[in-house]
Amino acid sequence: MRGLLRTSLLLGALSTTLAWGQLIPPALSSRPGAQYTIYLNFAGFNYDGTWANKTPGNVPAFTLDGDATTFNSTEMQRIRETWASTAAKFIGFNINVTTVDPSPAGLTDAQRKTWYDNTQYLTHTILGGSNSWYGPAGGVSYVGIAQQATTSNGMRTNWVFPAGGSGNTAKSMSVVASHEDGHHLGLPHQHDENNGAEYSSNGGANGDGSYAPIMGVAYSSQRATWRHGMSGTNVNDVTVLLNNLNIGPIIDDGIGHTMASATPMSVLANGNSNPGQHRGWIMPRAETGYAAEGANAYTKDYFKFRSLGGLVTLSANDGTSYLAADIADIGATMRSSLRIFDSGGSLVGVATESASTLVHTWSGNLASGEYFAEVTSVGAYTSTYEPNSRYFNMGAYFLKGSGLAPVPEPASMSVLALAIGGLLARRRRSR
Ligand SMILES: [Zn+2]
């Protein structure tokens, strides 16, 4: 009897799960509690009524295998990567890019649409289905909607069309999602400075080292970046984003910005850096008016570490590492520089860049002592194709190292240091 009851309950639960549970995407949020929310909806949406006088209808969930009733493991991974690559574009802004529906549970899709319309600081981005209901486009959005107190007729919803539009790679979907959400946050297009075309692709830039504007067309370039355009209208993407109601200023990454305030590296007993503990983002500085150009227009991050004498290797990887510690997600936006300084502030070495992986590595023998690792931007990208526009060289990185020793704890941390010392001593004895 008891078993039977359990079974019937389980069946009841399963039938609910089969209808909806399999369409639950991975729950990912880049900045919970942020002022603005970009909700990336991969799970489909039954759109009630018209959007811009067109009829979206029942938009299927994101799918690669043609079965929009479940997410298989490949689709789940594609969703994770698309989320990470979209979140990377908005890192440092007071924005949470999330796959978790912020609307209250139990609402119908029609009620959700109204709830989104009535919820300030929100964008509901649907990534699913084709552009057949709208027309030829990778995606579409209203402009300057996210900060409005209320909207109507689903204006707070915008679109990425994987089928026939953006394509279904994580790169292409994130490029379009960032573009449409840029529109929602007030950004116009970045025009081609050279020939006046509506969308700049930076002359079709592609391959290692290439870049193109998010608010233009950035499908082909290695990096998609915000831009200070000089064509037609003079639009600084970053200042427009920051002009949204209650969104600014840029959020600090919490890493020390001077050698004096350098963040001590977390070092494991084997001398490797503690994975996932040295992540930050380099941003244009308010003091420079959020200018794009010049390395000094950007924040600098400093870490300190110690060498016991011997080979030390450090690498700065451009990009976020949301999905796995110390592994770069796709969608890096910055080209960083990594430099090593000694305790007196003298330059010891400059990392070498791999243009294809965006990893910057320095390796060398260091005498016993304390050192600094500096990560910053190399400054704006400039293009010979569009000589006046400036591409922001900003975004996430993470730092790794080996051959390191921890920096001695400051006096106020002595109790903790003693505790760690005790732990290490015990470990040594147990070997
Ligand atoms: Zn557009």
Pairing between strand 390-391 and 227-228? antiparallel
User: What number is the average pLDDT over the span 12-19?
Assistant: 34
Percentage of the residues of the chain whose pLDDT score is greater than 90:
87
409 Cα–ligand 1 center, Å: 51
176 Cα–ligand 1 center, Å: 9
Residues forming beta bridges with residue 374, ordered by sequence position: 302, 339
pLDDT of residue 16: 33
Pairing between strand 263-264 and 300-307? parallel
> Any residues with CB less than 8 A from the CB of 140 and at least 6 apart, and which?
52, 134, 158, 159, 161, 180
pLDDT of residue 295: 83
183 Cα–ligand 1 center, Å: 7
213 Cα–ligand 1 center, Å: 11
141 Cα–ligand 1 center, Å: 7
Helix (H, G, I), strand (E, B) or coil at 396: strand
pLDDT of residue 410: 62
160 Cα–ligand 1 center, Å: 11
Rounded to an integer, what distance in angstroms lies between the CA atom of residue 131 and that of residue 167?
Answer: 11
Helix (H, G, I), strand (E, B) or coil at 80: helix
What pLDDT band is residue 243 in, cutting at 50, 70 and 90?
very high
Residues forming beta bridges with residue 41, ordered by sequence position: 126
398 Cα–ligand 1 center, Å: 31
pLDDT of residue 231: 81
What pLDDT band is residue 409 in, cutting at 50, 70 and 90?
low
**pLDDT of 276-320, one tens digit each?**
999 999 999 999 999 998 889 999 999 999 999 999 999 999 999
119 Cα–ligand 1 center, Å: 23
pLDDT of residue 240: 97
pLDDT of residue 425: 43
68 Cα–ligand 1 center, Å: 27
Helices 73-89 and 170-184 sit at what angle, rounded to 10 degrees?
40
At residue 12, does pLDDT exceed 90?
A: no
**pLDDT of 244-266, one tens digit each?**
999 999 999 999 999 999 999 99
What pLDDT band is residue 6 in, cutting at 50, 70 and 90?
very low
Assigned token pair, 431? 């070997």
Tell if the pTM clears 0.95, that is, is over it: no
**pLDDT of 98-139, one tens digit each?**
999 999 999 999 999 999 999 999 999 999 999 999 999 999
Count the Cβ atoms, other than its own, within 10 Å of residue 349.
Answer: 17
Q: Tell me the domains of the chain and their CATH numbers.
A: 20-186 (3.40.390), 263-412 (2.60.120.380)
At residue 29, does pLDDT exceed 70?
A: yes
134 Cα–ligand 1 center, Å: 14
155 Cα–ligand 1 center, Å: 15
19-50 CB burial, b ≥16 within 10 A, e <16: eeeebebeebbbbeebbbbbbbbbbbbebbee
Rounded to an integer, what distance in angstroms lies between the CA atom of residue 238 and that of residue 225?
Answer: 10
> Any residues with CB less than 8 A from the CB of 415 and at least 6 apart, and which?
none
178 Cα–ligand 1 center, Å: 10
Q: What is the DSSP string of 164-232?
A: TTT-SSHHHHHHHHHHHHHHHTT------TTT--SS--TTT--EEEEEEETTS--SSEEEEE-EE--SS
209 Cα–ligand 1 center, Å: 24
User: What number is the average pLDDT over the span 189-216?
Assistant: 96
208 Cα–ligand 1 center, Å: 25
Count the Cβ atoms, other than its own, within 10 Å of residue 260.
Answer: 9
pLDDT of residue 233: 78
pLDDT of residue 424: 44
pLDDT of residue 406: 85
189 Cα–ligand 1 center, Å: 6
What pLDDT band is residue 5 in, cutting at 50, 70 and 90?
very low
What pLDDT band is residue 152 in, cutting at 50, 70 and 90?
very high
Count the Cβ atoms, other than its own, within 10 Å of residue 278.
Answer: 25
Q: How wide is the angle at C-alpha 144 spanned by C-alphas 118 and 189, nearest 5°? A: 150
What is the chain's Cα-based Rg? 24
pLDDT of residue 423: 44
403 Cα–ligand 1 center, Å: 48
What pLDDT band is residue 407 in, cutting at 50, 70 and 90?
confident
pLDDT of residue 68: 96
pLDDT of residue 117: 98
303 within 8 A of 372, measured Cβ to Cβ:
yes
Average pLDDT of the chain is 91
**pLDDT of 365-404, one tens digit each?**
999 999 999 999 999 999 999 999 999 999 999 999 999 9
Whether residue 249 has a cis bond before it, omega within 30° of 0: yes
